[in-house]
A and B are shown apart, each in its own frame.
Chain A
């Protein structure tokens, strides 16, 4: 069973809160969820939507077909009716608009209720969510519980008023003889699930990771991390700052990193661009820092509240001069938890910038995750600071001592009788500036050796999902994992065949030999490179680092994520669903590049 609930209304209606409430009702009832929001870069007046796909089994992405559409205004219907079929239900108020296609109509007189109860628009959501619960066979008590959680601190009167609104919405459905489903019927003894976005998981994982300084300048879609960590800081001792610009953000993080604390920053492409010179400083001075980069479509201000994987090559190449860095791209919130911990470790072990690459789709979509699993992962985690030490035997101190593995000891400042500098100029082993050719080559080689050490000790090959013998294999990275996994399920259902998926998370640097071995012997299979960008950037990176090329690409760059149905249709070469507003651009990697060259 998979069911897709969607609510829409004007920005400012409280759509986001209602959507999250619905997600949590589903998980508290024992279901898995994946949700997705769309909103313009406005505070009031635009159109906001929130869709929650829930299922008995784990679900990794959104669903194209909408099973129940809750319309708080006419736009919701008009903008989404192409995703409805005769099987879809629509909750609406005929006072606002009439329905002109074949769907199951469920009338809820929102306007009348609003007038009768003298309530503000935001409160209509409670009615709408309660009506949805009734229609889907859910337990109203779960909504009542959430009302208590949200409003108990505001007093009994507010609580009771909201409970009454919930009852009104619920009763309206049960009394009016609508045909009721049981898709949201609570399961027995549901496990304790958290409903989290990628940003929330990065925030949460940063606590066990022992991040002590997080600095950030607000930029969608990374901003929520700043808000979450800022709220928590008084309880966990982290210092969370919002400096004047992204340049100050990263330089203050480098300052605290030099002084010995794990430090991280978060931003999106534009802010990251401002940090780039400082990444280079981190490179030469060998300062550990974790940079959370949540991509949105550029160039420049682009589409601020939409999604794209457009900054991969920018992240890989960020910074002038040559220095090692590591780029990781989690594919879902479980991977976000593990790779966030890993990012902080790798930054320390290799004393360099580690970029955690996310995007709006991963950063702001919720998925469920077992609380016990995450608690256990965090409890078992012990920070590995590598050669960052509080004490040393060296004197005079050689901060940049030449080492076989490329990694020198980094003394946390404070030990008496010692001093050194984090020098942005090329330097000799004791950190003083130099222009000497031999010293230069020694330090370049030392820094470069970190890459070899990393590839040997920490690089992780891509994960493989599905059937290794399948004749069609997807190749992708980061947040495309969800839509591809769900597309594979659809495809297998349709064709009774297995499919394969090579999922990259350790994006840069890549180990040429390991990756070539990984793909060896898969020559006769159809490989499809799937990316949420127009340049097939991972394809370029893979070719650059390993020489491997894929003939076939499936690219999408309209600001929207892939729908699993879209991937299925592409693979089968049919158009089962009209997703014309979001038609992906397909072709070969070469064709894409040829087109780019033409344009240049």
Chain B
């Protein structure tokens, strides 16, 4: 084990923010899996959650709002032997970067996407996020949001993600377990973490989630897509299942690229290039 630690700067999040617990969950999961900061790629989005870039060490990118998934895919293309973890919020990953999210599911890229789902934009002081319930009032939607909420779990399942799970910021043990499973899973894994924003979201509070969440029962079969979809739709009844909703086996994106038999970064330079000119003669 290396002597370097995941702990970096002391977080600047609001006291009571769910980000604290999520960070501990990520750190602990990675430690328990035997990783250290030199052995993981982290791709941080922009927002309160993305600010974890300075609080969690790793070979990291802290890129642009909404683009943490494409940068993660790029890192995976270059070094598929290293785990790649995306850390961002519902605004960046389901809003600004929603297109990337659905296509990454389709590709079954072997990355883990951890979404801090708190239904608001914290860093820009509380505007509505795409996961907020229809009618949610915020600075940008004073009479309530007109659009219905994004359903990230159903979206991921239907677009081809092969590991779809949901955690709750108040349950660190569950988060650790889900992240460990997600990182170990070969293929696209989603860990959607329900998280109160103690400063800007007065609706979806710890109390709210304690009442509305429930753990998937023993014997729940995550390989049954129909069942998983049914559970994912419970959000419309304000019911939030916690645990691994869906899991399936499908070759990851990089496994279907024969030239990635060894990591792109590490292989020797290809030098037999003169033959490619022949077709132009």
Residues of A within 8 A of B (CB): 24, 27-28, 192-196, 200, 204, 207-208, 210, 212-213, 215, 232-239, 241, 243-245, 247-249, 251-261, 263, 277-278, 281, 285, 371, 374-375, 378-379, 383, 412-425, 432-433
Residues of B within 8 A of A208 (CB): 271, 273
Q: How far is the CA of A204 from the CA of B280 in the complex (A)?
A: 10
Of B43, B51, B265, most buried by chain A (CB within 10 Å of CB) is B265
Q: Are B264 and A212 in contact (CB under 8 A)?
A: yes
**Interchain CB contact (< 8 A) of A419 among B3, B46, B57, B74:** B57
Of A249, A255, A371, A420, most buried by chain B (CB within 10 Å of CB) is A255
Q: How far is the CA of A413 from the CA of B79 in the complex (A)?
A: 9
Q: Are B274 and A375 in contact (CB under 8 A)?
A: yes
Q: How far is the CA of A432 from the CA of B274 in the complex (A)?
A: 44
Q: Which of B136-144, B231-239, B255-263 lines the interface with chain A?
A: B255-263
Q: Are B57 and A260 in contact (CB under 8 A)?
A: no
A360 to chain B, nearest CB (A): 19
Question: Do A383 and B60 contact each other (CB < 8 Å), given the known contacts A233-B259, A255-B78, A259-B75?
Answer: no
Q: How far is the CA of A256 from the CA of B57 in the complex (A)?
A: 19
Which residues 2-31 of B have a CB within 8 angstroms of A?
2-4, 8-9
**Interchain CB contact (< 8 A) of B74 among A213, A277, A371, A412:** A213
A-B contacts besides A194-B277, A251-B71, A259-B79, 13 pairs, CB < 8 Å: A195-B281, A213-B78, A237-B259, A239-B257, A243-B70, A243-B73, A248-B100, A258-B75, A259-B75, A375-B274, A413-B79, A420-B59, A433-B51
Q: How far is the CA of A233 from the CA of B270 in the complex (A)?
A: 11
Q: How far is the CA of A295 from the CA of B270 in the complex (A)?
A: 30
The reply to whether the CB of B200 lies closer than 8 angstroms to some CB of chain A is no
Residues of A within 8 A of B9 (CB): 432
The reply to whether the CB of B202 lies closer than 8 angstroms to some CB of chain A is no
Q: How far is the CA of A413 from the CA of B43 in the complex (A)?
A: 13
A315 to chain B, nearest CB (A): 20
Residues of B within 8 A of A200 (CB): 280
Give the 9 A-B residue pairs with the shortest CB-CB distance, closest first.
A255-B74, A259-B78, A251-B70, A413-B59, A252-B74, A194-B280, A421-B60, A255-B71, A419-B37
Residues of B within 8 A of A261 (CB): 77-78, 264-265
A473 to chain B, nearest CB (A): 35
Q: 7 A-B Cβ contacts within 8 A?
A: A244-B103, A251-B64, A255-B61, A255-B72, A258-B61, A260-B79, A383-B269
Q: Are A422 and B70 in contact (CB under 8 A)?
A: no
A210 to chain B, nearest CB (A): 5
The reply to whether the CB of B38 lies closer than 8 angstroms to some CB of chain A is yes
Q: How far is the CA of A370 from the CA of B260 in the complex (A)?
A: 34
Question: Do A259 and B41 contact each other (CB < 8 Å), given the known contacts A248-B103, A375-B274, A413-B59?
Answer: yes
Question: Do A256 and B78 contact each other (CB < 8 Å), given the known contacts A194-B280, A239-B264, A285-B61?
Answer: yes
Residues of B within 8 A of A (CB): 2-4, 8-9, 36-39, 41-44, 46, 51, 53-54, 57-64, 67, 69-79, 82, 99-100, 103, 257-260, 264-265, 267, 269-274, 276-277, 280-281
Residues of A within 8 A of B271 (CB): 208
Q: Are A213 and B264 in contact (CB under 8 A)?
A: yes
Q: Are B103 and A414 in contact (CB under 8 A)?
A: no
Closest to A381 in B: B273
Q: How far is the CA of A239 from the CA of B276 in the complex (A)?
A: 16
A170 to chain B, nearest CB (A): 23
Residues of B within 8 A of A416 (CB): 2, 36, 38-39
Closest to A383 in B: B269
Question: Do A413 and B63 contact each other (CB < 8 Å), given the known contacts A200-B280, A204-B277?
Answer: no
Of B41, B64, B74, B272, most buried by chain A (CB within 10 Å of CB) is B74
**Interchain CB contact (< 8 A) of A433 among B53, B70, B281:** B53
Number of A-B contacts (CB under 8 A): 199
Residues of B within 8 A of A371 (CB): 277, 280-281
Question: Do A241 and B281 contact each other (CB < 8 Å), given the known contacts A375-B274, A419-B58?
Answer: no
Q: How far is the CA of A233 from the CA of B62 in the complex (A)?
A: 30
Closest to B260 in A: A239
Question: Do A244 and B75 contact each other (CB < 8 Å), given the known contacts A207-B273, A277-B64?
Answer: no
Residues of A within 8 A of B75 (CB): 255-256, 258-259
Residues of A within 8 A of B276 (CB): 204, 207, 232, 235-236
Q: How far is the CA of A374 from the CA of B274 in the complex (A)?
A: 9
Q: How far is the CA of A243 from the CA of B67 in the complex (A)?
A: 13
Q: Are B259 and A239 in contact (CB under 8 A)?
A: yes
Residues of B within 8 A of A24 (CB): 281
Residues of A within 8 A of B100 (CB): 244, 247-248
Residues of B within 8 A of A193 (CB): 281
Residues of B within 8 A of A238 (CB): 259, 270
Q: How far is the CA of A213 from the CA of B8 in the complex (A)?
A: 32
Residues of B within 8 A of A249 (CB): 70
Q: Are B53 and A379 in contact (CB under 8 A)?
A: no
Q: Are B70 and A252 in contact (CB under 8 A)?
A: yes
Of B9, B265, B270, B280, most buried by chain A (CB within 10 Å of CB) is B280
Residues of B within 8 A of A234 (CB): 258-259
B163 to chain A, nearest CB (A): 21
Closest to A249 in B: B70
Of B2, B44, B54, most buried by chain A (CB within 10 Å of CB) is B54
Residues of A within 8 A of B62 (CB): 421-425, 433
A133 to chain B, nearest CB (A): 18
B196 to chain A, nearest CB (A): 25
B87 to chain A, nearest CB (A): 12
Q: How far is the CA of A238 from the CA of B258 in the complex (A)?
A: 10
Closest to B262 in A: A237
Residues of A within 8 A of B78 (CB): 212-213, 255-256, 258-261
B24 to chain A, nearest CB (A): 19
Q: Are B74 and A421 in contact (CB under 8 A)?
A: no
Q: How far is the CA of A119 from the CA of B62 in the complex (A)?
A: 60
Question: Do A432 and B8 contact each other (CB < 8 Å), given the known contacts A204-B277, A251-B71?
Answer: yes
A240 to chain B, nearest CB (A): 9
Residues of B within 8 A of A285 (CB): 61, 63
**Interchain CB contact (< 8 A) of B70 among A28, A255, A379:** A255
Residues of B within 8 A of A204 (CB): 273, 276-277, 280
A318 to chain B, nearest CB (A): 15
B23 to chain A, nearest CB (A): 15
Q: How far is the CA of A128 from the CA of B54 in the complex (A)?
A: 68
Residues of B within 8 A of A247 (CB): 67, 70, 100
Q: How far is the CA of A257 from the CA of B276 in the complex (A)?
A: 25
A415 to chain B, nearest CB (A): 7
A310 to chain B, nearest CB (A): 27
Closest to A149 in B: B279
Residues of B within 8 A of A257 (CB): 74
Question: Do A252 and B71 contact each other (CB < 8 Å), given the known contacts A210-B270, A419-B60?
Answer: yes
A171 to chain B, nearest CB (A): 28
Residues of B within 8 A of A412 (CB): 265
Q: Are A236 and B67 in contact (CB under 8 A)?
A: no
Q: How far is the CA of A463 from the CA of B244 in the complex (A)?
A: 64
Residues of A within 8 A of B99 (CB): 244-245, 248
Residues of B within 8 A of A260 (CB): 78-79, 265
Q: How far is the CA of A260 from the CA of B266 in the complex (A)?
A: 9
B28 to chain A, nearest CB (A): 18
